Amino acid sequence: MEHDDQTIGSICTRREALVLAARAGMFLVAGAGATQLVRASRVWQAKDQVHLVASPALTEGPFFVDEKLNRSDLVSVTDRASVKNGMPLELNLRCLVFAGGKTSALKGATVDLWSADVVGAYSDEASPMNHENTSGQKWLRGFQVTDANGEVHFKTIVPGWYPGRCPHIHFKVRKFSTSRQTTAEFTSQVFFREPDQARIYAAEPYKSHTSPETTNERDMVFSERLPDGTTAGSHMLLDLARSARGNGMKSQFSILLT
């Protein structure tokens, strides 16, 4: 599953991909790698696909802690105001693998999710890079194991920002042997479209923390250049929709691994 920037399948222009995707009943969506990507990121169906490249691996960052917390609800575990008052986000991830010319669901993989709270702090961190000592606290962290469809579901929040970074959520996908040795690992981040950021950060409790000082394109991770000249983050943007459960948001996103 290591990303090596090698193209999978044939190469086409974005216009050609749009035409071919429409003919195949697929979508041209956010993905990444060496050229253009056609994959089912806005639908769950793993249809036959051609023009595929791998999702981009992005830095783990300094705040990953292997907490081994098997839970989908990352919010209700704390009374911390900057967590429980954040904008609820139902995040559904689907892990797909491209091999042998076919795309299939990645079953039985461990997917860790972690992010900052409304004020840009991570839990269980004493590092000076985290602007608060949160040692022993374990909010906004957890993992789920992909089901037969390669899916995991998390209840989290839209994270706040911190200096030097635009809003983002980290994730790590791992496969383990029967002896719990890591056999494959993929790490990346998902990001938020700036119109969504503007709307969410204009309201409390985010408003008190001000709007993000780093735009997506100025973020050193988001703006990492891929071989085709595009930015990695532009292929890892979440599409937000209103949740049916209340005033929160929901999003689904597919990750293509090789």
CATH of the domain at 139: 2.60.130.10
Rg (CA), the chain: 18
Residue type, 76: S
Q: How many domains does the chain have?
A: 1
Residue with tokens 């783990």: 60
d(CA 88, CA 204): 13
* Longest Cα separation, the chain: 53
Q: Is residue 173 part of a domain?
A: yes
Distance of alpha carbon 205 from alpha carbon 160, whole angstroms: 10
* 108: its two tokens: 């039985």
Q: What angle do CA 139, 145, 150 make, to 5 degrees?
A: 125
Contact 141, 69 (CB under 8 A): yes
Question: Ramachandran region of residue 140, left (φ > 0), alpha (ψ -120 to 50) or beta?
Answer: left
Residue type, 208: S
Q: Is residue 184 part of a domain?
A: yes
User: Does the residue 189 lie in any domain?
Assistant: yes
* 2 located within any domain: no
With tokens 């970074």, the residue in question is 165
In a domain, 40, yes or no: yes
Alpha carbons within 13 angstroms on the beta-carbon side of residue 146 total 25
pLDDT band with cut points at 50, 70 and 90 for residue 40: very low
Owning domain of residue 181: 7-55+62-257
Give 65-82 pLDDT, tens digit per residue. 999 999 999 999 999 999
pLDDT band at 179 (very low <50, low <70, confident <90, very high): confident
Q: Closest Cα partner for 154 from 94, 89, 95?
A: 89
The whole-chain average pLDDT of the chain stands at 82
pLDDT value of position 90: 97
How far apart, in whole angstroms, are the C-alpha atoms of residue 167 and residue 169? 7
Cα–Cα distance between 177 and 205 in angstroms, integer? 43
With respect to residue 1, please indicate whether it lies within any of the assigned structural domains: no
Q: What percent of the chain has pLDDT over 90?
A: 65
Instruction: Return the minimum-mean-pLDDT range out of 2-16, 92-106, 149-163, 227-241.
Output: 2-16
Report pLDDT digits (tens) over 8-29: 232 333 333 333 333 333 333 3
Looking up tokens 């041209």, which residue turns up? 28
Give the three-state DSSP class for 165. strand
Residue 169 near residue 157, CB atoms below 8 Å? no
Q: ∠ CA(148), CA(176), CA(138), 5° rounding?
A: 90
- What pLDDT shows up at residue 11? 30
Residue 25: inside a domain: yes
In a domain, 98, yes or no: yes
